[in-house]
Structure 1
Amino acid sequence: MSTQTQAPTTGPATADTSRDRRVPVLSSRTRAVLFSLLCFTLCFAIGLQGWTSVQLGGFDLGIFDQGMRGYAHFQLPVSIVKSYHHEFPPGFSLLGDHFSPVLALAAPVYWIWNDPRALLLAQALLFAAGVPVVRRITAHAFAAAPAAVRLRAADLASLVFALGWPLTASARGGFHEGAFAVPLTLLMLERGLARRYGTAAVAALLLCCTKEDLGLLVGAYGLVLLLRARRTADRAGHRTGLVFLLLGPTLSMAAVSWLIPAMGGQPGYYWNYQELGPNMGGAATHVLTHPWLLLTGAFNAPLKPLLVLWLFGTLFLLPLRSLTTLCAVPLLAERLLSTNPNHWSIARHYDAFLWPVLLTASIEVLGRLYRQEGSRRLAQRLGLATVAFTVAAAVPLGLFQLVVPTWWQAGTSGAALVQATRLIPTGATVEADNQAVPRLTSRTKVVLVDRTPRGMDYVLIRANHRSFPFATDTEQAARIQLLLTHGYQQIWTKDGVVLLHRVGDEPIPGEHVPGPDSQPVQDVVPSDVGHNLFRG
């Protein structure tokens, strides 16, 4: 992402050497620290804003908070918010939901700060750790450029990464596995460019332990290494690429087929590709005999082509000119072919997994353009345009809200939820509104209040504001009446928020706690989801 405007008169290796002698005001290391601080500050601030405005819920911050507490005590990452709501049997841990053992590396943060916000802090630190790696990627791409050009290109690339809308959107959603996937993907790609394949392999292995489908990204990168090794006669790159190509998908299959079920999960629980087939094997057979299903399935909803256009358009289609973009194909295909409309929006955390790949590909293309005589001005313009467009895209997806005071405040309903949580004694069992769950995970046994009564000591619910997973606030009001007539009494209410306490032991109609024979269920996606690219 160069700002160089004057084309050199000699070859790239000796071009414009006078500019090399210029001493920068700040060293490259200092700039890396400053851009890392910028990235950390913005992402952590966005996360804290979601906390103070009571926008972060049990799904997913409360789930990860309960699981991380298990890791912090050298136990399995058990989350009863997840297991109760989705009816997983006893013995289920979050490793049976997504195979993400690498999350245990964030557990020490809880030894310092025993609070759900520790996850927001850890995620911001992990995102910020990507800045120095982005700068090294830029140094590889602009290796033949003068030092001043390399420095400016690294600064612009750092700015695009730090202010990238995928990171701001992910930070708004709380904490997810993408916190580790971002720096690890960048490290794998950078070490590959440096031909340091040992470290690249370590990063690839950690990626496979970050989420079960990231082995597909590793496999795709193996294909990239193989294709590049053919052109450069890089034998080590060829061997590494072959190992990645074979081992990455194999580890993904092993996680889905064996490791997740061993942790109490269900094979195929997240199979959202019914249009292709009932399972992976059936889909493969169906696609082989009807290959056009891939095309129709990828664009059979209006948001799907808009998602592709937004992902690549905000980077001026630059990634399409780099082999590295092949790494994004498996993850993007997962979303486009999915029948779950939650996967089609950019307002969630899914794009954080793609961001390192697409940004690296863009930097590689700009570096290649700079090396070509007559294309340096184009590289400059495209680099500056990418910065401007990416920052502009991030404004409505997290940056603008930071400077609006009202976005830092909870609404009347959210404020009442927080007030009600303080009335619940430590150690109690609780069914709580989704937005209240993270306020209770550290000191109570809390589950999500959903369509199934659980018979807990306290129930914290809203009567006039629809909350996940209820379809309407009428359902919530009906739940309150049901509990009041079967052993509960109202002990507090404000602004539609109701706190109930169980005083009797009579059975509640429909009461159920997951047992050994429980069959996991998925949520029914509301009909209003999947119609807006910018809404979660």
Structure 2
Amino acid sequence: MTSADTRPDRAPAHRFHRSSPWLFDRLPAALAVTVGATAMIVYSVGQWRSMQVPSWDLAIFSELAKAYSRLQAPIVPIKGEGYNLLGDHFHPLLVLLGPVWRLFPTPLALLVVQDLLLAVSAWPLTRLATRLLSRPVAALLGLFYVLSWGFQGAVAAQFHEIAFAVPLLAWASAAFVEQRWRSCAWWLAPLVLVKEDLGLTVFMAGLAIALRGQQGAPQQPARHGPGWWRRLSTTRLGLVVALFGLLAFLLTVLVFLPALSPSGTWEYGLSDDGTSAGLLSRLFSPEVKIATLGMLVYTAGGIGLASPWMALVLPTLAWRFLSGNEFYWGWQNWHYNAVLMPIALGALLDVVARLKTRRTSADPASASGWLAVPVWARWTVALGVVVPLAAGVGTVRDLPLWSLTQPGFGTASERAPAAAAVIDAIPDGASVETDLGLLAYLVPDHTVYWVGTSQVDTDYVVVDSQSSAWGGNPPTDAASWATSQSHTGAVYELVLDTGGYQVARRIS
């Protein structure tokens, strides 16, 4: 037999009806990916042109990409002299950025890569929604997903390693819903190479697969050939995946990160908030944490909470909410919510798929598709679809991409000529210590240090009087400041003062 539906590792043919034309069935997914990629790339290019710098992350990952492009270890001077970024977070999968930087040696390339990774993750989930629902509904869900609050916050915060986790989770989610257990496991496995805490996400995913096996989900046909992997039942496969995720997490935080970190420890263990509050109090206060939970429930359509796949959000929420860092808590900003989006939509579609298999007691020949499903199940699915769409519409003005509608968005910064003069004043290959303003912009042609971590007397020092790094009290003379901060008695002279930037050069 050669039909695709009879191959191992594929969903049973009766579960997802595929009688529609090939092209039309792919239009919703193509629309979601195209719209999402376009909107996010336009936003990123505009952000880059207008010189918005929300954090130092883009500069850090740009130095990492530059090192990988030269086949070197990811030493990132911005974090400190000789600092190996694999000791900060464990993300060896970012070696894939090396070829990107080799072809396009600019931090903007990393922003575009992230935009494309987020956008392409809409493909498997929108295709799944097309098979389960209808093309118009799938298109709406796909657009909601690719323009979701979690993605917008990540794009506005600029590049972060979690971008590589999102498509992996999206394809794993689709495989889980379609009961393609081995495919799900293979998509989950690389997550442990994206960020150390994702090993716990893989652990939860393995438990979800095992639970489905215990609930009587169809077992995948055993494949011929050697290897115990091919002969595992669904339950045992899930337990193997869970064990793999847990061991990967422990090995990473107890061995790899301490070995590579300058401090000799995992630097991101849970910290308290300086109070004696109990566990529950720390999890659910302040109120911003409740708001984040509410948005996540809306994204899953409420009904997604009934899926074991939704448990994958628990490790991410736990480390964020138990941390004393308030930047981890919110739903509108930063990149911490992006990995939750494919999980939430996957959980919603999982419940939809299970409800679709229910049948009325009427004559099967009298109804087909959703008409054969009990009325209460149809209303439940309708509610699950409407809730996230309503939440998306209701919050559209509160999210970063809304700025695309504002006049003048993405125009070049008024300080761009001055910034260009600063960069031109520093020879290629020179070392530079600076604040956040031009941090990423200096990375391609220079060795860059940050004023908050540098212990090196660099060739040049750049001060941006408008940078948030100074807390509203920037040095009035970059040369005097650099000389006074020298670790070896170096002396600096001012060589450029323009547009709020000052450049000091080391002369001895």
What range describes the TM-score normalised by the shorter chain of this pair?
0.7 to 0.9
Residue 184 of structure 2: aligned partner: 200
Q: CA deviation at 1:476?
A: 3.7
1:33, distance to aligned residue in structure 2 (A): 2.4
Alignment of 1:258-273 (within 5 A): 258-265=255-262, 266-273=264-271
**Could you say what secondary structure the match of 2:503 adopts?**
strand
Task: String of CA shifts for 1:356-388, please: whole Å, max 9, x gaps.
Answer: 111111223344455551132453354234224
Provide Cα deviations, 1:466-512, integer angstroms capped at 9, x if missing partner. Answer: 423x3x23254486643366722222223432121222x2xxxxxxx
Aligned residue for 1:440? 442
| Native 8 Å contact 1:457 1:501 kept in 2 | yes
Superposed CA RMSD in Å reads: 2.9
The counterpart of 2:280, out of the listed 295, 312, 332, is 295
In the alignment, what sits opposite 2:345?
359
Please report how far the alpha carbon of residue 436 of structure 1 lies from its aligned counterpart in structure 2 after TM superposition. Answer: 0.4
Distance across 1 between alignment mates of 2:307 and 2:217: 19
Inter-partner Cα distance in structure 2 for 1:177 and 1:261:
19
Identify the residue that residue 78 of structure 1 maps to in structure 2: 75
- CA deviations over 1:62-87 (Å, ceiling 9, x no partner): 11111112222222222111234xxx
Mapped pair 1:384 → 2:386: yes
Contact 2:63 2:75 (8 Å CA) reproduced: yes
Query: In 2, are the aligned partners of 1:57 and 1:435 still within 8 Å (CA)?
Result: no
In structure 2, give the amino acid aligned to 1:330: P
Return the match for 1:42 from 39, 42, 46: 39
Q: CA deviation at 1:206?
A: 0.5
Partner of 2:364: none
Q: Where do residues 213-362 of structure 1 align in structure 2 (5 Å cutoff)?
A: 213-232=197-216, 234=218, 236-265=233-262, 266-274=264-272, 293-313=278-298, 315-346=300-331, 347-362=333-348
Match of 2:64 in 1: 67
1:111 paired to 2:102: yes
Taking the TM superposition and a 5 Å limit, the aligned residue runs for 1:405-420 are 405-409=407-411, 411-412=413-414, 416-420=418-422
Gapped regions of structure 1 (runs ≥ 5): 1-12, 85-89, 143-148, 278-289, 506-536
5 Å-filtered alignment, 1:146-165, equals 149-165=133-149
Partner of 1:179: 163
Asked whether the 8 Å contact 1:137–1:360 carries over to 2, the reply is no
In 1, Cα distance between equivalents of 2:416 and 2:206: 48
- TM-score using structure 2 length: 0.82
Distance 1:369 1:415, change over 3 A: farther
Specify which of 435, 446, 451 is matched with residue 449 of structure 1: 451
Q: Which amino acid aligns with 1:431?
A: E
Query: What CA distance in whole angstroms lies between the structure 2 residues aligned with 1:245 and 1:21?
Result: 36
Quote the Cα distance in structure 2 between the aligned partners of 1:28 and 1:328. Answer: 30
Cα distance in 1 between the residues matched to 2:300 and 2:323: 24
For 1:101 and 1:264, how far apart are their aligned partners in 2?
A: 14
Offset at residue 158 of structure 1 (A): 1.4
- From 66, 86, 93, the counterpart of 1:95: 86
Structure-2 separation of matches of 1:164 and 1:14 = 28
Aligned 8 A contact 1:168 1:398 in 2: yes
Q: Does structure 1 residue 483 correspond to structure 2 residue 469?
A: no
Q: d(CA) in 1 for partners of 2:428 and 2:61?
A: 20
Matched, 1:210 2:194: yes
* Cross-structure match for 1:523: none
Unaligned runs of 5+ residues in structure 2 are 1-13, 220-232, 359-372, 485-489
262 and 388 in structure 1: CA distance in 2 versus 1, 3 angstrom threshold: same
- Per-residue displacement from partner, 1:33-64 (whole Å, max 9, x unpaired)? 23211121112122212211111367101111
Letter in 1 for 2:86: L
> Equivalents in 2 of 1:299, 1:479: separation in Å?
45
One-letter identity of the residue aligned with 2:134: R
User: What's the TM-score, normalizing by structure 1?
Assistant: 0.78
What is the Cα deviation at residue 193 of structure 1?
A: 2.8
Secondary structure at the aligned position of 1:362 is classed as: helix
Aligned partner of residue 408 in structure 1, secondary structure: coil
1:404 is matched with which residue? 406
SS where residue 241 of structure 2 aligns?
helix
Report how many aligned residue pairs link the two structures.
459
Tell me, in whole angstroms, the C-alpha distance in 1 between the residues paired with 2:301 and 2:31: 27
**Larger RCO, structure (CA 8 Å, separation 6 or more):** 1
1:195, 1:237 within 8 Å by CA — same for their partners in 2?
A: no
Opposite residue 247 of structure 2, the aligned amino acid is T
Change (3 A) 1:294 1:46: same
User: Following TM superposition, by how much is the alpha carbon of 1:418 offset from its aligned partner in structure 2, in angstroms?
Assistant: 4.4
The answer to whether the aligner puts 1:123 opposite 2:107 as a matched pair is: no
